[in-house]
Structure 1
Amino acid sequence: MIGRFKISISILGTILSDIITGDTLSPDFVSQKLVFLWIRLPRCIMAVLVGMCLSVSGGVYQAMFRNPLVSPAVAMTISIARLISIKPIIVMVLAGMVVLSFFNALLMILKYFSDPYDELPSIVFWIMGSLTRVTWHDVFITLAVTSCGLLVFILLRFRLNILSLGDIQAKSLGINPFISRVILIVLSSFMVAMVVATCGQIAWLGLIIPHMARTLVGPKHETMIPVTALLGAIFMLAADVLARSMTTAEIPVGIITAITGAPIFCFLLYKNRGSGWL
């Protein structure tokens, strides 16, 4: 397996056989088993769950607000714009500046009063996004939240299709757009909050992955949601592998997603120019 602590395929097979059959593992492989079970495996599972959470939440936000540039980072700003009936683009800029400045100030206060030798490095590393300190406890909680969220999104897939057409069409079909959006926003925000609390800020997944899925299978959410979850899981897992293997010192995975996500999004902009999706 890829990483600074090498585990060959044959040793991995021996470890899996030991886990399945319950046989006693050779003392020579005990360290490899511990690394696999308590570091590599929970980290890989968490990468998959994080990719699914952020990607599907981004796709849901884009459908709700009928805006392909929406991601979990700006969804609340658009909600405020709709609430006070001001042009969303103006409020997105102004409210985004206000919210960003406010929380940056809180974050600077937190860093200022943190222990520079103990707490401050952890805060900085968390801001950059990392799966380094993931535990099985984090995996189980995120798995429960992700499973419930995906189940609800799949059950509400037809409502998402209708919401993407507009409020007038939704009301004419007997759907209350306000109630539907509240349910979807609360659930999506809870999923994103769980990921951020555990792994920090992971950029671009909620924006580019839904576009990739929409390009492959179209806008219907009965197929788009599963494909978005799959692509998000693959993208995040690949980013984590790169973060662990590019250099001898591990790179925060949030940096990898930002570096790779920005050019991918520019490519999607260029490819879909004039197609009506912007």
Structure 2
Amino acid sequence: MKLVLLALFLVAVILASIVLGRYSISLDAWRHFLLHPGNSDVAAQVLLRVRLPRILGGLLIGAGLSVSGGAYQGLFRNPLISPDILGASAGAGIGAAIAILLGCGAPAIQAISFLGGLAAVGATCFVAGRVRLGNDPVLAMVLSGVMMASICEALISLTKTVADPEDKLPAITFWLMGSLSSINATSLVWLLILIPLGIVVLMVMRWKLNVLSMGEEEAASLGVDTRKARWLIVLSATMLTTAAVSVSGMIGWVGLVIPHLARMIVGPNYKVLLPASILLGGSYMLLVDDLSRSAMASEIPLGILTHLIGAPFFLYLLIRTRQGWA
């Protein structure tokens, strides 16, 4: 029943997102567009070329970040884990910064950003495989991810230092702050391939996430191949994170806050926690984007809003939730 209510809430948010914006579109215009899809008036063009791609992209990005965050929190058994814990976001950021510095177009920026995120997580896993911290692979991965993210952030600062302050530096800075304004048909194809694929894998792995959240030894005693399951979850969550960041830029706190909120609503069972994270993540991203493009005359970068909203809300969750997180 709770999932049904969350789904209805998402539908309401989608309808609101269709109407809101600098160019006001009524629901009657939306109904007319559905009945006459070949219509070429201004409202139809805004819906078809701008608003609908942005809404669908926001849904996919919010769902992807939320699901990957929830999966990482269960895998690493830590409520403070976010999707960028292994350096995926920072790696995608340096990839995009380099691509912008080289003057690449939007598709190339997305591709290089995606590869940068994968490379950063691959380097994290390579280092973690050669670190021995009391035979604790999870701790080794987390510490290696923190190190890799720090290196990537330093490289991002280096690219900003050498970038042209009149052209490339503003583009890099704006990209790093996050936005859905660049979403187009090419971006949607990219997201529609990678985000559902990663979500499906994690949905299939839900029962293993339940077991892994109890600890490696308990999972192994129940017959779970913990090493294989861990790498499959990391690969899927990394693909979700890097795909989202390569299109939207670095949007923080979504994968940290939304799984907590979902856990408060439906409980820690991943059978319902992941679907709830999908619905809540999509709703949250659309609401923040609506605020981004409606609050001021110029669009506010999403990264700013997610930090301003996410950090105080997460503090509220910590104060309100006095029992264990899982």
2:219 alignment partner AA = A
Please state if 1:67 is matched with 2:78: yes
Partner of 1:55: 66
Residue by residue over 1:135-168, the C-alpha shift from the partner in whole angstroms, topping out at 9 and shown as x without a partner, is: 1111121122111111111111111111111111
Please state if 1:85 is matched with 2:133: yes
**CA deviation after TM superposition for structure 1 residue 203, in Å:** 0.7
Change (3 A) 1:48 1:112: same
Please state if 1:14 is matched with 2:24: no
Please state if 1:152 is matched with 2:201: yes
Please state if 1:224 is matched with 2:278: no
1:85 alignment partner AA = L
**CA deviation after TM superposition for structure 1 residue 114, in Å:** 2.7
Structure 1: 5+ residue stretches without partners:
none
Q: Secondary structure of 2:299's match?
A: coil
Change (3 A) 1:91 1:222: closer
Partner of 2:190: 141
**CA deviation after TM superposition for structure 1 residue 100, in Å:** 4.6
Query: Is the Cα–Cα contact under 8 Å of residues 61 and 75 in structure 1 kept in the other structure?
Result: no
2:256 alignment partner AA = L
Residue by residue over 1:168-201, the C-alpha shift from the partner in whole angstroms, topping out at 9 and shown as x without a partner, is: 1111111111111101101111110111111111
1:226 alignment partner AA = P
2:188 alignment partner AA = V
TM-score by length of 2: 0.76
- Supply the distance in 2 between the matched residues of 1:258 and 1:62 (Cα, whole angstroms): 19
Please state if 1:2 is matched with 2:20: yes
Over the aligned positions, Cα root-mean-square deviation in angstroms equals 2.4
**CA deviation after TM superposition for structure 1 residue 108, in Å:** 2.4
Partner of 1:35: 46
- Supply the distance in 2 between the matched residues of 1:180 and 1:201 (Cα, whole angstroms): 27
Larger radius of gyration: 1
Identity level (%)? 37
- Supply the distance in 2 between the matched residues of 1:183 and 1:81 (Cα, whole angstroms): 16
2:289 alignment partner AA = D
1:113 to 162, 181, 196: 162
Question: Size of the alignment, in residue pairs?
Answer: 269
- Supply the distance in 2 between the matched residues of 1:195 and 1:91 (Cα, whole angstroms): 22
Q: Secondary structure of 2:36's match?
A: helix
Q: Secondary structure of 2:236's match?
A: helix
Query: Is the Cα–Cα contact under 8 Å of residues 199 and 240 in structure 2 kept in the other structure?
Result: no
TM-score by length of 1: 0.88
**CA deviation after TM superposition for structure 1 residue 216, in Å:** 1.1
Partner of 1:260: 309
Change (3 A) 1:168 1:104: closer
Change (3 A) 1:108 1:133: same
Please state if 1:208 is matched with 2:219: no
Query: Is the Cα–Cα contact under 8 Å of residues 262 and 280 in structure 2 kept in the other structure?
Result: yes
2:214 to 165, 172, 181: 165
Change (3 A) 1:104 1:148: closer
- Supply the distance in 2 between the matched residues of 1:81 and 1:146 (Cα, whole angstroms): 26
